[in-house]
Chains A and B, each alone.
Chain A
Amino acid sequence: MADFEVLIIGAGPGGYVAAIKAAQHGKKVAVIEKENLGGVCLNWGCIPTKALLKSAEILDGMKHAKDYGLKAENVSADYAAVIKRSRDVAGGMSKGIDFLLKKNKVTILLGTAAFVDAHTLAVTKADGSVQNVTADNVIIASGHKPRTFPHLPVDGKQVVNYRHMLAATEQPKSMLAIGAGAIGMEFSYFLSTLGTQVTVVEVLDQVLPVEDAEIAKVVEREFTKRGVVIKLATKVVKLELKPSSVIVHLEKNGTAETVEVEKVLVAVGFLANTEQLGLEKAGVKLDERGFIQVDGDQQTSVQGIYAIGDVAGKQLLAHKASFEGEAAVAHICGHSQQVNYAQIPGCTYCQPQVASVGVSEKKAKESGRPIKIGKFQFLASGKAKAIGHPEGLVKLIFDAEYMQLIGAHIVGYDATEMLAELSVALRLETTAEELMTTIHAHPTLSEAVMEAAADALGVCVHQ
Chain B
Amino acid sequence: MIIEQLMPALSPTMTEGTLVAWRVKKGDVIKAGTVIAEIQTDKAVADWDAADGGTVVEILIEAGSLAKVNMVAAILSTKKDDDIPAAIAKAKATNAKLAGSAVMAAPVSALVSAPAAAAQPAVPSAPALVSTPNAAAPRAEKPGRGVRISPVAAKIAAAFAIDVRLVIGTGPDGRIVKADIEAAAKSGSAKLGASASAKAEKPKLKVLRPDASQAQTTVALSPMRQIIGKRLLESKTQIPHFYVTETIEASALMMIREQLNLLDGLKVTVNDLIVRATALALRVHPKLSATFHGDRVVQHDSSDISVAVAIPDGLITPIVAKAHTKSVRQIGDEVRSLAKKAVEGKLQPSEFQGGSFTISNLGMFGIEAFAAIINPPQVAILAVAGIKDVPVVKNGQVVAGKTMQVTLSADHRAVDGADAAAFLKTLRELLEAPATLLG
Q: Per a CB cutoff under 8 Å, which of A26, A429, A433 touches B153?
A: A429
Residues of B within 8 A of A431 (CB): 151-152, 155
A205 contacts partner chain B, Cβ-Cβ < 8 Å: no
Give the residue name and chain of the A residue nearest to B178 (CB).
A429
User: Do A24 and B33 have beta carbons less than 8 Å apart?
Assistant: yes
For A398, give the chain B residue with the smallest CB separation: B152
A428, CB-defined interface residue at 8 Å: yes
Q: Are B150 and A26 in contact (CB under 8 A)?
A: no
> Which of chain A's residues has its CB closest to B159's CB?
A402
Q: Give chain A residues whose Cβ lies under 8 Å from the Cβ of B153.
A: 429
B151 touches A434 (CB 8 A): yes
How many chain A residues have a CB neighbour from B under 8 Å?
12
A343 within 8 A of B: no
Q: Is B177 an interface residue (CB 8 A)?
A: yes
Cβ distance A103 to chain B, nearest Cβ, rounded Å? 11
Q: Given the interface contacts A402-B156, A404-B178, does A430 sit within 8 Å of B151 by beta carbon?
A: yes
CB contacts (< 8 Å) of B151 on chain A: these are: 404, 428-431, 433-434
Q: Is the beta-carbon distance between A24 and B32 smaller than 8 angstroms?
A: yes
Tell whether A429 pairs with B177 under 8 Å between CB atoms, given A402-B152, A434-B151: yes
B174 to chain A, nearest CB (A): 14
Interface string of A378-409 (1 = CB under 8 A from B): 00000000000000000000000011100000
Q: Note all chain B residues with C-beta closer than 8 A to A428.
A: 150-151
Asked if residues B33 and A25 are in contact (CB atoms below 8 Å), the reply is yes
Give A256 to B156 CA distance when docked, in angstroms: 56
* CA gap between A50 and B381 in the complex, in Å: 65
- Does B340 touch A at the CB level, under 8 Å? no
Q: Interface on chain A toward B: helix, strand, loop, or mixed SS?
A: loop
- Complex contacts, B156 vs chain A, CB 8 Å: 402
* Cα separation A434 to B178 with both chains bound (whole Å): 16
Binary contact track A11-30/B, C-beta < 8 Å → 1, others 0: 00000000000001110000
Number of A-B contacts (CB under 8 A): 30
Q: What separation, in Å, do the CA atoms of A25 and B49 have in the docked complex?
A: 11
B31 in the interface (beta carbon within 8 A): yes
CB-CB nearest in chain A for B31: A26
| B33→A429 contact, CB < 8 A | no
Chain A residues with Cβ below 8 Å from B178 are: 404, 429
| 8 A Cβ contacts from A423-463 to B | 428-431, 433-434
| Complex: A24 Cα to B31 Cα, angstroms | 9
Given the interface pairs A402-B155, A404-B178, the reply to whether A429 lies near B150 with Cβ below 8 Å is: yes
Distance in angstroms between the alpha carbons of A429 and B181 in the assembled complex: 12
Q: How far is the CA of A26 from the CA of B34 in the complex (A)?
A: 9
Q: Quick one: closest A residue to B179, CB to CB? A: A429
Which residues of chain B are within 8 angstroms of A434 by Cβ–Cβ distance? Answer: 151
Q: Chain A residues with Cβ under 8 A from B32's Cβ? A: 24
CA distance A86 to B126 in the complex (A): 57
**Shortest distance between the CB of A33 and any CB in chain B (Å):** 24
- List of B residues within 8 angstroms of A26 by Cβ: 31, 33
Cα A262 to Cα B120 in complex, Å, equals: 77
Query: In whole angstroms, what is the CA distance A403 to B150 when docked?
Result: 13
- What's the Cα separation between A429 and B155 when bound, in Å? 11
Please give, as numbers and ranges, the residues of chain A lying within 8 Å of B152 by CB-CB distance. 402-404, 429-431
Which residues 20-49 of A sit at the B interface, judged by CB distance below 8 A?
24-26
Minimum distance in angstroms from B6 CB to a CB of chain A: 19
A403 / chain B contacts, CB cutoff of 8 Å: 152, 155
Contacts of A402 in B (CB 8 A): 152, 155-156, 159
Chain A hits for B177, CB < 8 A: 429
Minimum C-beta distance from A438 to chain B (A): 11
Chain B residues near A430 (CB-CB < 8 A): 150-152
A26 to B153, CA, bound (A): 37
Minimum CB–CB distance from B33 to chain A (whole Å) comes to: 5
6 A-B pairs with the lowest CB-CB distances in the bound complex, closest first: A429-B150, A404-B152, A429-B152, A402-B155, A431-B151, A402-B152
Please name 27 pairs of A and B residues whose Cβ atoms are closer than 8 Å in the assembled complex, sorted by A: A24-B32, A25-B33, A26-B31, A26-B33, A402-B152, A402-B155, A402-B156, A402-B159, A403-B152, A403-B155, A404-B151, A404-B152, A404-B178, A428-B150, A428-B151, A429-B150, A429-B151, A429-B152, A429-B153, A429-B177, A430-B150, A430-B151, A430-B152, A431-B151, A431-B152, A431-B155, A434-B151
